[in-house]
Structure 1
Amino acid sequence: MNSNEDNVKWFRNAAPYINAHRGKTFVLMFGGEAVQHPNFANIIHDIALLRSLGVKLVLVHGARVQIEERLAAQALPQQIEGNVRVTDAETLLAVKDATGSLRIHIEALLTMGLVNSPMHGAQIRVSTGNFVIAKPIGVRDGIDFKHTGLVRRIDAEGINTQLNFGSIVLLSPIGYSSTGEVFNLALEDVAAQTAIALKADKLITLTEQAGLLDKEGALIRSCGVATVSQLLAEQEDHVKQLLLKAIIQCGKQGVERCHSVSYASDSALLQELFTRDGAGTLIAKDHQEQLSAASIDDVGGILELIAPLEEEGVLVKRSRELLEIEIDRFTVIKKEDVIIACAALYPYPEARTGEIACLVIHPDYRGGNRGLRLIQALEQEAKIQSLASIFVLTTVSAHWFIEQGYIEQAIDKLPEGKQKMYNIQRKSKAFTKAI
């Protein structure tokens, strides 16, 4: 396959994501070190591309590096108390200088950087303003933090007005009080509070690393907020702690998806948003319902859940003995220890494929994307088992599986072992999906 065919294939595969992201609100958070990186020009191009695809964008930039450079150049002392900078009058001048210069630089890149990019000719409007209302940290443990503050509230209405006009909103780590004071804020505080106030669909954090890393330094491809909390408990670096706290706060207060990707990679941002496997870490909001591998104690609950569909002939009947033998194939969703959904993965390693079977949602809990959560979990398990595809046989749910990216295939394309077990009288249709 030549490069043009590869590009067309990628574009086709990206089409569902393009459609899904259109009209959604993303908050992008990046520090001053990201702006200094040689790859930042490519990030700017990708930001412009996202805007052209109908994504509503709020950019929140930091300036720690630039503030420290100005303080060092002026030989001004830095007072850090409890990992928080004390901002006196002289430090505040350096903060204003650093954040103002950086904001202008980013605006210039968004305007001039398009000339030599694929987005040449596009009109990108950037809106800044007093959207962040702040309050002072005050005195803690006898330390007066002076002009260092916290976010009091975000002017979500004002930001949404600019987003609806088609502008990219750019926020600095600076806040204003109702009395006309200026406060130095933490990037992570501004980004998290903005995402929450806007009810953003995504918070995207751009970091030096590829994403969130486990104890061994391996990239975590996807996880829930509970996993991020565990990482926070093990993290000693203060700046990384702030990042993890922002992700946790967003996940607990309604932001459905957070992403962590590298600002040093030319393609990471677009890969994360427009490909199945992504490039960084996807953090999904934890649900009150728990998704987990089934255990032998779940056999009774699964039997009770699937019994009505077995009686209707929608599912093939399973005995308790068979289910006990196959229980390690099942994944379940529980609410208050009651099983409300289940599905199973039966691998065919010799054919590098697997079957999703017995996908059942309790009638009282349909319509909440639980079926999608189950098949995504099983798709991830299939990848771990080095399977290249998965398939399903269904008599009543064909359209739903098609919506999830499955394609109908002939029965004689199924693994040989499955063909021998195929029940002609049921007339089930087969659908497959590459993973």
Structure 2
Amino acid sequence: MTTSGRAHIRWFRNTAPYINTHRGKTFVLMLGGEVALHDNFPNIIHDIALLKSLGVNLVLIHGARPQIASRLKSAGIESVIHKDIRVTDTESLEHVKDAAGSLRAQFEALLSMGLPNSPMQGARIRVCSGNFVTARPMGVVDGVDFQHTGRVRRVDVDGIHSQLRDGSIVLLSPLGYSPTGEIFSLALEDIAVNCAAAIGADKLILFGAEAGVTNAAGELLQQLAVSQIEDLEVDKPEQRTLLHTAQHACKQGVPRCQIISYQDDCALLEELFTHDGSGTLVANLDYEQSRRADIEDVGGILELIEPLEQQGILLKRSRELLEQEIQRFRLLVRDGRIIACAALYPFPEDSCGEIACVVTHPDYRGGQRGQRLLLELEKEARSQGLTSVFVLSTQTAHWFLEQGFAEHSRDELPGQRQALYNLQRNSKVFFKDL
């Protein structure tokens, strides 16, 4: 086997935890009408088919805004927009139905492919569309009658779950139906949020033109807590819309929303089957959770600190010692993987504490994770009535100086700590007042 072949096999092996995690889960995918116009659309369909084959329950919700706009323009009908929502009169509704029906058929056709030597060979996917969304009219807003533009009233949860249990992919168009037999044009985002929340989806995946959400400097924001969104400045309108949709969904109870690109081939698979993903994750809780370590974390901590012990940056700790001291450690955990750690050893008789073993995994350095743990341990030290913290360092002096520490003599260490000082390492001592 070639080197590249082995690399692919290793990558496939590393996806096993994600395959196991996602199997049996329910994902809602929101695909705007722009997705169907892009050259990468068939590849996205192939990736959706792969998710289905891996045991993921899927609900696809497609939009049709560009297709509707094109049909209205060709018919010489001027679109009336109020508060970024299209007013749908009786004449326009016919074109809305035409665009939605045409796109639905396109999705169904692509998901029905099964040609030999193609990615969907043997897939045999069943797609179910129907009147799963009951709608109500928007009515008159600011004096503007929205006519056949509506909002979601309720979602047929039992009907969708029944189809998912039978092995179908559920496909929803941007239309809703009333008990009186009327048809309403609905916003894609309205259906996506309400459907994902109602059926208890594990994820809502939102497709946009770019890879997630970027900040003012153009840097990709890999994860965001809902609490961070209000203070975030996002320049691009599409990204703002996707971000607010994700925020709304999380507030409605969807655990995670992921914003990815429909232009980047394999973005969906990369987002779901690699550690760092391809886009932006939005969650009610921080994606990287901080928590106190327990005995089951010993192996992960040893794996994290071992390279630095070998380099002489950290003093070597045995498994037995780490097991005894495990309650001293605080961790940053990302998708079950320990990516940073630090420990606090209090000396209450001297009103100070030692911060030790501040380590971040090489793949995650540069994200201020060490600072985050340091601040949390400083807060913990204050809660214990300590007035200062200190560190011993051989190679990271500048970093601690940047965090507000100042160099001191080792004679200022607590007596108990002085007795354990390793003269051969000749570590420098840094204190910080709390």
Q: Aligned partners of 2:175 and 2:313: how far apart in 1?
A: 53
- Which of 338, 358, 365 in structure 2 is aligned with 1:385? 365
1:12 maps onto 2:13 in alignment: yes
Equivalence map 1:218-297=2 (5 Å): 218-231=219-232, 234-235=234-235, 237=237, 239-286=238-285
Cα offset, 1:349, TM superposition = 9.8
Asked if structure 2 preserves the Cα contact closer than 8 Å seen for 1:29 and 1:61, the reply is: yes
Q: Tell whether 2:106 aligns with 1:144.
A: no
Question: Matches of 2:17 and 2:132 in 1, distance apart?
Answer: 33
- For structure 2, the residue ranges without an aligned partner over 5 or more in a row are 299-303, 342-358, 371-394, 397-419, 421-434
Q: What secondary structure, in the 3-state scheme, does the structure 1 residue paired with 2:112 have?
A: helix
2:333/2:340 contact within 8 Å kept? no
| In structure 2, C-alpha distance between the alignment counterparts of 1:220 and 1:247, rounded to whole Å | 14
Cα root mean square deviation, aligned: 3.9
> Matched residues, percent identical?
48
By how many angstroms is 1:283 displaced? 1.7
Q: Which amino acid aligns with 1:12?
A: R
User: Aligned-pair distance for 1:284?
Assistant: 2.1
Deviations 1:250-277 (A, max 9, x none): 2112211111111111111111111112
Amino acid in structure 2 at the alignment position of 1:242? T
Equivalent pair of 2:114/2:122 in contact (CA under 8 Å): no
Match of 1:51 in 2: 52
Contact persistence 1:44–1:110 (CA under 8 A):
yes
Q: Deviations over 1:353-374 (max 9, x none)?
A: 9899766499xxxxxx997779
- The 5-angstrom pairing of residues 125-140 of structure 1 reads 125-140=126-141
Q: Deviations over 1:68-117 (max 9, x none)?
A: 00001011011001111100011111100000000001100111266552
State the structure with more CA Rg.
2
CA drift at 1:130: 0.3
1:205 and 2:206 aligned = yes
SS of the residue aligned with 1:146?
coil
**Aligned equivalent of 1:79:** 80
Secondary structure of the 1:217 match is coil
Which one-letter code corresponds to 2:259 in the other structure?
A: S
Contact 1:229 1:244 in 2 (8 A): no
Where in structure 2 are the equivalents of 1:299-314 lying within 5 Å?
none
Counterpart contact for 1:45–1:114, Cα < 8 Å: no
- 1:177 has 2:214 as partner: no
1:323-344: CA deviation from partner (whole Å, max 9, x where unpaired): xxxxxxxxxxxxxxxxxxxxx9
Contact 1:359/1:371, CA 8 A, preserved across alignment? no
CA contact (8 A) 1:345 1:378 kept: no
The aligned amino acid for 1:385 is R
Q: Could you report, residue by residue, the CA deviation over 1:118-138 in whole angstroms, capped at 9, with x for unpaired residues?
A: 330221000000001111111
Aligned CA distance change for structure 1 residues 283 and 11 (closer, same or farther; 3 Å)? same
Cα deviations across residues 9-57 of structure 1 (Å, max 9, x unaligned)?
0111000100110000000011111111001100000000000000000
Q: Give the match's secondary structure for 1:378.
A: strand
SS, match of residue 230 in structure 1: coil
Is 1:229–1:248's contact at 8 Å kept on the other side of the alignment? Answer: no
Asked if 1:3 is matched to 2:4, the reply is: yes
Q: Which stretches in structure 1 are left out of the alignment for 5+ residues?
A: 294-304, 316-343, 363-368, 391-415, 422-435
Q: Are the aligned partners of 1:45 and 1:113 in contact in 2 as well (CA < 8 Å)? A: no
Give the residue type in structure 2 aligned to 1:207.
Answer: G
Q: 1:73 to 1:199 in 2, by over 3 A?
A: same
Q: Report the TM-score, using the length of structure 1 for normalisation.
A: 0.69
Classify 1:113/1:41 alpha carbon distance in 2 versus 1 (closer, same or farther; 3 Å): farther
- Closer, same or farther in 2 for the Cα pair 1:123/1:62, shift >3 Å? same
Q: How does 1:22-101 map to 2 (within 5 A)?
A: 22-101=23-102
Q: State the distance in 2 between where 1:374 and 1:156 align.
A: 31
Q: Distance in 2 between matches of 1:236 and 1:386?
A: 26
Contact 1:214 1:220 in 2 (8 A): yes
Contact kept, 8 Å, 1:114 with 1:120, in 2: the verdict is yes
